Amino acid sequence: MLRRGMLALSTRRKFKDMSAASINPSDRPSASTFADKCGLNTSDRQAQVKRVLALAQASGLEWTRLVWCDVHGSLRGKTWVTSELANAFAEGMGMVSTLMLKDTSDRTVYKVFEADVKNELPGFEGASNVMLLPDPSTFKILPWAEKTGWLLCQPWFPNAQAVPYDSRRILQAALEKLAVKGWGMRAGLEVEFHIYQLKDATHGADANPALASWPGPAPEVSMIHPGYNLLNELWFDRAEPALRIVKQTAQALGLPLLSLEIELGPSQVEAVFKATDAMTAADNMVLFRSAVKQALRRAGYHATFMCRPPFEQIMSSGWHLHQSLVDLKTGRNLFMRDAAAPQTDANDARHTLSDMGAQYLAGLLAHAQGMTVMCTPTANGFGRFRPNALAPQSILWGRDNRGAMLRVIGQAGDTATRIENRLGEPAANPYLYMASQIHAGLAGVHAGLTAPLATDSPYADVAGRAEATRIPNTLDQALIALQQDTAMCEGFGETFVRYYQRIKAAEQQRFDAAEDKLEFQRREYFNRI
């Protein structure tokens, strides 16, 4: 399904526009705006800003949402009136820094009013401000909201230093590591999620002021199709009103939607996107999730990207990430090999993948435990790793095998050759998910690792496998694995890893303390993700 996208030549995303490291401030004249001080006010950005302002004026936009992606992959932000948009591009927009310190319940994990936070997280003491600067290349006009624009932003400290905990910046840094080698990453998305009909679109439990709490109750819902009939046309027809909204919303936003499909689970669907460069794919993912939830809610539906919705008879949702590396100059797929390596069969990675691709595959396997929490970051998501459920349990690869953690697709001479990682859940932060692939894969390339033989039986004797070959079973196990993985810690940086662990550990601690685990997940995930 992703072949056409993989065949397209790579177009290098201008992610440097928002990267602190991409411009040397000393090379610029005296700064007059905050964007200048941050080293962002390049001629290219100025041209893009001019284009956005003209388009906003011509379209009669009343306001524009300036949003930022938090560590959990959710969008937050403020809405500015159009007359002030130019100032937002030049001077930025203040945002309380505690938004970067929240767990999934919106509780601030760090004690920002105590003296120790100054040493632990300098710049966050006292719930101070950070500044958001919009990336003009991300501008959209929202199709479901009247006269409303949308811009993705990134945070900066008031002293014009980049905030290192920004997940989009984490992916930018990883892509820079590839770019130094002349490589880029392409990514294709297959995203499973659930759509439900709201039983009462205006007066549901989550809208009842008498039931308000932190986090609030989940909405009452019914299914849009009964499930257990994969790709059934009748079920698609039943779900068509909701799926039409998804299609129209995605297309109006310019997202490269390829198909919408009925999945096996009750009320479960899947969206498949053509492959793009990695930064575009990540930006598209955060926009798609937020847009779909908003557009469907207005029509009386509830969409959730929670892996396992809180009902007994459901199927888990996964996010299958297709990836390949390309030559930035020629667009050539660097995972493709012209001919199978001598004396190999289909179970040898070098039969399908280039030598570098096989090493990248070996790196993904070697660092699978360490990357797991970036692919499946919620306590709920680990319930997906079950036998014979088209979800992985062990750290294995297979040739076109959907039970293996990594599925290698293609053959010698196939320009669409790629690796599919089936470890992820749809709630994952896409910037961290993709960055983890780059760090793990590059570690395999740098070390010249050799991939083991492919598996034909990914669920065989899982209990008897060595601990090193099993996927972590819980969020806390995955956090320990991240801390113990040298390549992950070096790739993400020790500072970010400590920050991320503390944020996610707070979620795990509250999950462990919850008397009713199912109700915890209804409120924490089903209502919000």
Query: Average pLDDT of 156-167?
Result: 96
Given a cut of 70, whether residue 416 has pLDDT beyond it is yes
Q: Using 50, 70 and 90 to split pLDDT, how confident is the model at 210?
A: confident
What pLDDT sits at residue 135? 97
| CA distance readout (Å), 268 to 2, 236, 331, 521, 526 | 20, 11, 35, 18, 14
* Structural domains of the chain ordered from first start: 20-161 (3.10.20.70), 179-526 (3.30.590.10)
Q: Beta partners for 132?
A: 93, 155
What pLDDT sits at residue 15? 36
Given a cut of 90, whether residue 202 has pLDDT beyond it is no
Query: Average pLDDT of 439-456?
Result: 96
Q: Which residue matches tokens 């012209």? A: 338
What pLDDT sits at residue 302? 95
User: What are the DSSP calls for 227-295, one per residue?
Assistant: -SSTT-HHHHHHHHHHHHHHHHHHHHTT--EEEEEE-SSTTEEEEEE--EEHHHHHHHHHHHHHHHHHH
What would the pLDDT profile of 86-144 be if each residue is shown by its tens digit?
Answer: 999 999 999 999 999 999 999 999 998 988 788 888 889 899 999 999 999 999 999 99
What pLDDT sits at residue 467? 67
- Radius of gyration over every alpha carbon of the chain, rounded to an integer in angstroms: 23
Given a cut of 70, whether residue 3 has pLDDT beyond it is no
Given a cut of 80, whether residue 230 has pLDDT beyond it is yes
Flag the least confident range among 173-177, 341-345, 385-389, 408-412: 385-389
What pLDDT sits at residue 31? 58
Q: Which residues contact 59 (CB under 8 A, 6 or more apart)?
A: 141, 147, 149
- H/E segment holding residue 85: helix 85-91
> How many CA atoms, within 13 angstroms, populate the side-chain half-sphere of residue 505?
12
What pLDDT sits at residue 316? 95
| CA distance readout (Å), 56 to 63, 146, 147 | 9, 13, 9
Given a cut of 50, whether residue 7 has pLDDT beyond it is no
What would the pLDDT profile of 238-285 be if each residue is shown by its tens digit?
Answer: 999 999 999 999 999 999 999 999 999 999 999 999 999 999 999 999
Residue 170: strand, helix, or coil: helix
> Structure tokens of 477?
């196990």
Which is nearest to 189 in space by CA: 290, 315, 319?
A: 319
The total of other beta-carbon atoms located within 10 Å of residue 231's CB is: 11
> How many CA atoms, within 13 angstroms, populate the side-chain half-sphere of residue 523?
19
What pLDDT sits at residue 14? 38
Query: Greater confidence, 146 or 456?
Result: 146
Q: What is the mean pLDDT of the chain?
A: 91
Flag the least confident range among 88-92, 353-357, 455-459, 474-478: 455-459
What pLDDT sits at residue 131? 97
What pLDDT sits at residue 208? 80
Q: Using 50, 70 and 90 to split pLDDT, how confident is the model at 458?
A: confident
Pairing of strands 183-198, 148-156: unpaired
Task: Give the separation between CA 258 and CA 271, rounded to whole angstroms.
Answer: 8
What would the pLDDT profile of 22-63 be if each residue is shown by its tens digit?
Answer: 333 333 444 589 999 999 989 999 999 999 999 999 999 999
What would the pLDDT profile of 478-510 be if each residue is shown by its tens digit?
Answer: 999 999 999 999 999 999 999 999 999 999 999
What pLDDT sits at residue 463? 63
What pLDDT sits at residue 462? 67
Task: Give the separation between CA 478 and CA 378, rounded to whole angstroms.
Answer: 10
Q: Using 50, 70 and 90 to split pLDDT, how confident is the model at 339?
A: very high
Given a cut of 50, whether residue 224 has pLDDT beyond it is yes
Task: Give the separation between CA 186 and CA 41, rounded to whole angstroms.
Answer: 28
Task: Give the separation between CA 507 and CA 509, rounded to whole angstroms.
Answer: 5
What pLDDT sits at residue 464? 64
What pLDDT sits at residue 461? 67
The total of other beta-carbon atoms located within 10 Å of residue 529's CB is: 24
What pLDDT sits at residue 144? 97
